[in-house]
Amino acid sequence: MINVTRSFMPPIEEYENYIKGIWENRYLTNEGPNLQELKSKLKEYLNLENINIVTNGTIALELAIRALGIEDGEIITTPFSFVATTSSIMWEKCTPVFVDIDRETLCIDVAKIEEKITPRTKAIMAVHVFGYPCDVEKIEKIAQKHNLKVIYDGAHAFGSRYKGKSLLSYGDITTCSFHATKLFHTIEGGACFTKTKELDDKIQSLKTFGAINGNYEIVGTNAKMTEFNAAMGLANIKYINEIIEERKKICNLYDQLLKGYVERPKEYDGLEYNYIYYPIILKDEQQTLDIIKKLNENEINPRRYFYPSLNILNFIDKKEACPISEDITKRILCLPLYNGLKEEEVHKICDIIKK
């Protein structure tokens, strides 16, 4: 079976070495030596200072909202994302206000943001879709003009660099997922990357039950990563450049074989891409379903990523039309992409699509 993704696994003996260390020191959680070493290595690799590692990418979004003091009101966001982008806003008792996407980049359409701003708007939560950057410069200008906070959902952004900087460095807070299906993973995990040390300290307190200097002074939660998860991160981080390079070769082969058959998201100037997904955009929903059926018949599982458009979910009270997102979600498909995917398997996938 060829699935849309397959988790990267380091050599087992390298992971076992870190696990043996846990057995020896009996430090299982509470930000032990593995977590501290992982944080140091991530700072070095990403060239970022304020990194707070947490249990998963969803709680990272929730912590970002809480750390910025957004306790009520509206957050402008995109309908083209994984459900956690929307559910985290609602979990924090805020209201998502959907702005349609740009047809070429698939990220939030910055030209449509200001018309959705109201006196209740507190923040913009945009998504670096498939590791491609939002228009960070224009979003920053809009936020400054209207005194709004900026959160980026960077679940797909690890390893992407824009204009010489990690894509995780933009906004007041950018979150990331270290889920097992991501380029860099800790089995389950995530992180918040903050603009200031003050925000980093706030997240540290929120994720450790609200503790400040040993006293429980604010309402917090438990979002600490275990030493076992951090061990997987330590075993994986040394391979990240190799992971990206191999995925780049697979994507280039897809590009070569599918040129003229499918649409692809717009390429960016100034972007060093991480090759986290390979999305294609097809003619219509029927063609998408037909291709899925044919691939499935050949034991190949692509993914409708993202589907459906979040603005039409049942639990959204105020339905707002986002015609571009609603259209793209019916026509987009992510093809298998992972380290170890064979060249002949890529040829097989592309032959089925072209037929």
Q: Could you count the other beta carbons within 10 Å of the beta carbon of residue 354?
A: 11
Give alpha helix (H) positions in the chain: 12-25, 33-46, 57-67, 83-91, 136-146, 197-207, 227-237, 240-258, 285-297, 323-331, 343-354
Query: What is d(CA 123, CA 117) in angstroms, rounded to the nearest whole number?
Result: 9
The answer to whether the beta carbons of residues 235 and 14 sit under 8 Å apart is: yes
pLDDT at residue number 340? 97
Look at the block and give the residue holding tokens 């780049």. Answer: 248
pLDDT at residue number 2? 98
pLDDT at residue number 87? 98
Q: Any idea which fold 240-354 has?
A: Aspartate Aminotransferase, domain 1 (3.90.1150)
**Does residue 286 come out as left (phi exceeding 0), alpha (psi in the -120 to 50 range) or beta?**
alpha
Q: Where are the domains of the chain?
A: 2-100+107-237, 240-354
The answer to whether the beta carbons of residues 176 and 155 sit under 8 Å apart is: yes
pLDDT at residue number 262? 97
For the chain, 355 residues long, give each residue's pLDDT as a single digit of tens: 999 999 999 999 999 999 999 999 999 999 999 999 999 999 999 999 999 999 999 999 999 999 999 999 999 999 999 999 999 999 999 999 999 999 999 999 999 999 999 999 999 999 999 999 999 999 999 999 999 999 999 999 999 999 999 999 999 999 999 999 999 999 999 999 999 999 999 999 999 999 988 899 899 999 999 999 999 999 999 999 999 999 999 999 999 999 999 999 988 889 999 999 999 999 999 999 999 999 999 999 999 999 999 999 999 988 889 999 999 999 999 999 999 999 999 999 999 999 9
CATH 3.10.580.10 is the classification of domain 2-100+107-237:
no
Residue-wise over 26-46: b if at least 16 C-beta within 10 A, else e?
A: eeebebbebbebbbeebeebb
Name the DSSP letter for residue 97.
E
The answer to whether the beta carbons of residues 67 and 88 sit under 8 Å apart is: no
